[in-house]
Amino acid sequence: MILLSKEYWEIRNTKRKGRGLFVSKDIPKGIVIGDYIGKVLRPEDTVVDEENIYLMYYHDRAVISPDLEKPGVHLLNHSCVPNSFLYTHKGHTLAFALRKISEGEELTIPYLLSPIDKFCDPCLHICRCGNLNCLGTMHMSKEKYDKWKELNEKWAKKTKRERISYGKDLPLLPVYPKKIPEDYIEKIEKLFGISINESTTTKYIY
C-alpha cells in the first residue's frame, strides 16, 4: 500500500527489472512511502519460486504475500545503492525515504536477504540494479545481516505488534507515522556505511 498521495509517484516499466515505482514530485528525507500489505501466510505454506521474492517477513511464523496486481511497496526494486529503506512499526514493514528523492528517480530499497545458504540453490536473487557498486546479489554478508537483525529487532520492540489471522490480509494500521525517527536513520547510515548527499548521491556498502 502506497501511503503517499498519487501526485508523488507513478508506475513505469524498467529495462531489466520489470515494473518499478518512480517519483513524480520530490520526497523529503525520512518521509514514509508505504506499508507492505498483503495476505498473512505460514512460511511452510509458500512455494519457492520467482514470486517468492515478494514475500515479506512478519515474524518467524508468518510472512506477508502482497497482491501483485495492486500498487504497493512490492514494486520497489532492490538496489545495492538504495534511496529508501525499511522500518518496523507495530509489526508492519514501512518503506521510507533514506534521503531526499528527486523527481524522476526510481524508488529503491535493499531487500536485506539473509546470507546465501544451501536452501537458495539455484539462487534466484540476482541483483540487476546496474549501479557501479552493484554486488550482483540481493543477499547480505553474514556480518552485515547479523548487525542489521539486531538493530531491527531492537527498534521493532518499541511498538506493539498487531494481531494477525492466517489466510487474511494484514489489517491496515489506524494511524501511520508521517516520518521515521531521525536517530533510526542515523543508525542505519552508521551500520551500513551510508554517506548521504542531500541531492542525489548515496554511497551504500552492503
Q: What is the DSSP letter of 139?
A: B
Integer-rounded Cα Rg, in Å, for the chain is: 16
Q: Averaged in consecutive runs of 10 residues, what is the pLDDT profile of the chain (206 residues)?
A: 97 90 98 97 78 81 93 95 95 97 97 85 85 89 93 94 92 96 94 61 43
Give the dihedral of Cα atoms 48, 51, 56, 59; nearest 10 deg: -20
Give the whole-angstrom CA distance, residue 96 versus residue 131: 21
Give the whole-angstrom CA distance, residue 196 versus residue 159: 28
What does the pLDDT read at residue 205? 40
**Burial bucket for residue 57 (CB in 10 Å: 0-12, 13-18, 19+):** middle
What does the pLDDT read at residue 199? 41
Dig out the grid coordinates for 83 from the structure: 534511496
Task: Give the H or E element holding residue 150.
Answer: helix 142-156
pTM of the model: 0.89
Task: Give the H or E element holding residue 10.
Answer: strand 9-13
What does the pLDDT read at residue 195? 58
CATH class of 6-203: mainly beta
3-state secondary structure of 44: helix
Task: Give the H or E element holding residue 146.
Answer: helix 142-156
